[in-house]
Chain A
Amino acid sequence: MGPFEKKAKSRHATFTRRTLLVSGGMTAVFGVLAGRLYQLQIENGDLYLNRAEDNRINQRLLAPLRGRIVDRFGVALASNRRNYRVMLVPEQTRGGVVATLDALAKVIPISDRMRAKVLKDAVANKPFVPLIVAENLAWDDFARLNLDLPYLPGVQPDVGDTRDYPYTEEFSHVLGYVAPVAAEDKSSPQETAADDPLLEVPGVRIGKRGIERTYDGAIRGRAGASRVEVNAYGRVIRELDRDDGTVGRDVYLTIDRELQSLIYEKLKNDSAACAVMDVENGDVLALVSTPGFDPNAFNVGVTPEQWNDLTTDDHKPLINKALSGAYPPGSTFKTVTALAALDAGVITPETIFHCSGVVRLGSHDFHCWKKGGHGAMNLRLGLKNSCDCYFYQVAMKLGIDGLQAAARRLGLGQLTGIEIPGERSGFIPDRYWKQATFKESWQQGETLVAGIGQGYILATPLQLCTLAARIAGGMQVSPRLVHSLGAQKLGRPVAEGIGFSPQALAAVREGMNAATNEPGGTGFPWRINNGPFAMAGKTGTAQVRVITREERLTGVRTNESLPWALRDHALFIAYAPVDKPRYACSVVIEHGAVVAHPQVQVARDALMFAQQRDIIGRPPAYPVTSASAAP
């Protein structure tokens, strides 16, 4: 064997050795690969499968129809209306979005604002995403568009649903409105179902005020979902499955639509509130606050101009005065003073107090509204004439402690629990509050002022209606608006007796009857002059300005001679019929205290209409009656 062969052999041996080494290395790398595959596909296979499913499956939420809100006879107060819309799919258009919009504008009206928005959205979105070009189209326009559709590629007519309030202003404060979900709606702890997937549905509206808000959870229904397969660019390939969700529940109110409309019509030019109740069970038959607003506007979106108008109006259309407006009850509160004094035994109905036109307490004079006074007054005459001096003296004998306790029993100074957000509790003062707030003890003069419903006392129109109902029926009723949610009847506590003696209640009712039905009574000129329908009531005025000593000497100015904002508020509480009360009513007209007593006229018309229509006696359209609700 020569040297070259030897070398060649050793070279071959080296090659073989190193080839084996390289093979070992390659085997190791194959091992790494297999290990990585095992890790990805076996160990984490489920994880990646989930992520692949997340990639391809898009869940699209479907908004259910909102439940309707109907009155006691089944009239829809809030319902859903077909919303005729036009969508545009940019990639399907011929000649581009601009050309299609131009062609479309010849068929249906397209505002410049909408046009600008569509052009902006067309750039921001993928070309297969449909853009809304027009909403709430008239049927004529929509029908015409459908005829022209073959010449408008990329244009898609679409029918959606939108909330509709046919009675607009009349029910704006009771129903509230719906509006798009705001960021705070999702974080708010008040929201009963803040994690409801429905809140994520594009364009969904939820209840923001009134009944729409309180019962939003029941009305909104359950969101459905459509699961679709999409590709990497988000284009829908096919629908995998679909759940249409559940339509929301209807809300049945105790309100009578016709009574509400009648009252609204009479008060629409005022800044006023009125409530009508069933004295036996507290069913609210009408709850009006004027002026109202158009809740439909909030659904589509209020313009800055509209919002500015609503917030700067001195009649404050956005405030529900029936339960958020707190007023000094004025002379309507004398019924409370009378009941409290009778109940405490400090007077009898026949106790006489003399009215000289002024009651002097220490160095301070407390005037009667009638200059020169009423002379000798018992309870009936005191209420009939609304004599201030009589009630100053009754209040003096009674004291603030008895007065405030009775006022609370009659529902004042506390929430009535009505099913609408934003209710105020009004105010009934007492010694402890005075001491805590002003670091001063209660003054007897303040008791006198309280006795005629002035001073610190505040009450909402709904509380005053409750007061009237409790006096008329002698039961501790509370107002309520909602009878049932869908087929579910809402329970309520059985009203107990108010706790005042029948004699005391009868004496006050007699005084109220005298005030409206005896000549000379404060409400007599505007009585219901029809025996079986007659109403009993108590007028009141609430001063909004201080009357100076000089003015009192020269003669107090009449309200008619004052600017609107300085006139006294006009109040009235009443019930009817006189002998077997069924309906209670309260009316408050801001700055409405004029000779014509419009507040009494409104109550008269409302109570007359309610009785003639026999609202309580007519069979309601509730899905469950009290009888069938029993298990």
Chain B
Amino acid sequence: MSVRAFQASQGGVPFAHKLGEVKWSLAILIALIACVGFAVLYSAAGGSLAPWAERQIIRFMIGFFILIAVACVDIRVWMGLAYPAYVFSLLLLVAVEVAGRVGLGAQRWIELGPLQLQPSELMKIALVLALSRYLHGLAPGEVSRPFRLIVPLIMIAVPAVFVLMQPNLGTATLLAVGGALLLFLAGLSWHWIAATVATLAIAVPSAWAFLLHDYQKQRVLTFLNPDSDALGAGWNITQAKIALGSGGLLGKGFLMGTQSRLNFLPEKETDFVLPIIGEEFGFIGTMILLGMFAAVIWYGIQIAMTARSQFGRLLAMGVTVNFFLYIMINALMVMGLIPVVGIPMPLISYGGTAMMTVMFGFGLLMSVHVHRHVSVPRHSSGMI
């Protein structure tokens, strides 16, 4: 049955049919969230499309095209591309790191003509693809066998360490937590989970308390979070909280946020867009935005649960969990609940690579939905 199903699904499904299978309600929801972003960037520029909103609109339109294009490509193709993409991203990551060491400055990106390519952004997608590909081939019990488990752990750890060395704590956290959650979803046994949690719970605080000198702790803190010179970051967070809080229930109104208009908010067009929304649209407006995000995540979970292949399920959940972590790290940061780590708000913050990565991720999610009936043999290596 598997061979026949494989051939049937391969046999020329027309493009138009695939377009019809796209979950347009999710696509429209994503577009609506992006529109909120345009409005905020318009407001952040003092009521002007330039310099941010107009460029963001063009990027989103390109990103939307990518989403649809990715959605129409068979998930087995993505499965086949998983390892090459991972290796390619890792090489770029190393290249950037080496280039930085050799003296080209601490760059996080590679210039490709007019485009700036951030390997760490590519890696977010590539890691999810590669882990899904690897875990797809494992029976439930196998995930917990040490020799099977060591491979995905290395797949997560290597890029995470390289990203951490950039240094980019936020993205490293995203990679590590996102990867760990995929292992969990794939059926990692509770013994491992309990052991890991227990080890971390004992090792980290005791190392902190007994092994490190004060100056070393300070170094670690600075290394983990280089932007956190107490005054600068403290001021940023204070102003962000003032902006959010002063919005109250209904907000000060569109274009009326004094904190953003008078430049009290730092980096308002990138990391600190949420406070603008909080200031101008209040508790109600911010909750509506969070509700839209939650709806996207709900869609993602639905798609994951209805996919027939384990690869599809893991890929869909990987993308969804990454999106969720993105939102949470940014939101918790601007609300002063976690340190400033420099993660933008997906779909809203100004930024090219992040927009493309997020839209590509949604493309993969959509592809899982379009190809939800496709079953993939356990030992398949996809198709290219």
Contact = CB atoms under 8 A, between A and B. Distances in A.
B290 A48 contact: no
A45 interface: yes
Contacts of B242: 48, 51-52, 55
Contact of A40 (B262, B294, B313, B335): B335
A10 B142 CA distance: 13
Contacts of A56: 258-259, 262, 264
Contacts of A237: 262
Interface stretch (A18-26, A93-101, A207-215, A484-492): A18-26
B337 interface: yes
Contacts of B249: 41-42, 45
A18 B283 contact: no
Q: Which of A48, A230, A237 has the most CB of B within 10 A?
A: A48
A423 interface: no
B245 A49 contact: yes
Interface in A1-38: 4, 7-8, 10-12, 14-16, 18-19, 22-23, 26, 29-30, 32-34, 36-38
A19 B246 contact: no
Nearest to A231: B262
B331 A33 contact: yes
A42 B248 contact: yes
B383 interface: no
A37 B275 CA distance: 11
B384 to A, nearest CB: 24
A44 B245 contact: yes
A147 interface: no
Interface string A34-68: 10111011101111110111011000000000000
A41 B248 contact: yes
Nearest to A23: B301
B287 A37 contact: yes
A8 to B, nearest CB: 8
A40 B328 contact: no
A47 B246 CA distance: 8
Contacts of B282: 41
A22 B184 contact: yes
A18 B184 contact: yes
Contacts of B305: 16, 19
Contacts of A40: 241, 244-245, 278, 335
B301 A19 contact: yes
Contacts, number: 130
A231 B264 CA distance: 7
Q: Which of A4, A29, A40 has the most CB of B within 10 A?
A: A40
B224 interface: no
A22 B140 CA distance: 18
A232 interface: yes
Contacts of A22: 181, 184-185, 317, 321
A229 interface: yes
A563 to B, nearest CB: 68
A438 interface: no
Nearest to A52: B246
B262 A37 contact: no
Contact of B246 (A16, A36, A42, A48): A48
Contacts of B278: 37, 40-41
A7 B140 contact: yes
B262 A49 contact: no
Given A30-B294, A40-B335, A45 B247 contact: yes
A18 B245 contact: no
B171 interface: no
Contacts of A232: 262-264
Given A4-B378, A30-B294, A41-B286, A55 B247 contact: no
Given A37-B244, A41-B245, A52-B246, A26 B297 contact: yes
A19 B185 contact: yes
B186 A15 contact: yes
A257 B187 CA distance: 104
B332 interface: yes
Contact of A19 (B243, B286, B287, B304): B304
A44 B335 CA distance: 13
10 contacts: A4-B378, A19-B317, A22-B184, A33-B328, A37-B278, A41-B244, A41-B278, A42-B283, A45-B248, A55-B242
Given A37-B286, A37-B335, 6 more contacts: A7-B139, A37-B287, A40-B244, A41-B283, A55-B264, A56-B262
Interface of A: 4, 7-8, 10-12, 14-16, 18-19, 22-23, 26, 29-30, 32-34, 36-38, 40-42, 44-49, 51-53, 55-56, 229-233, 237
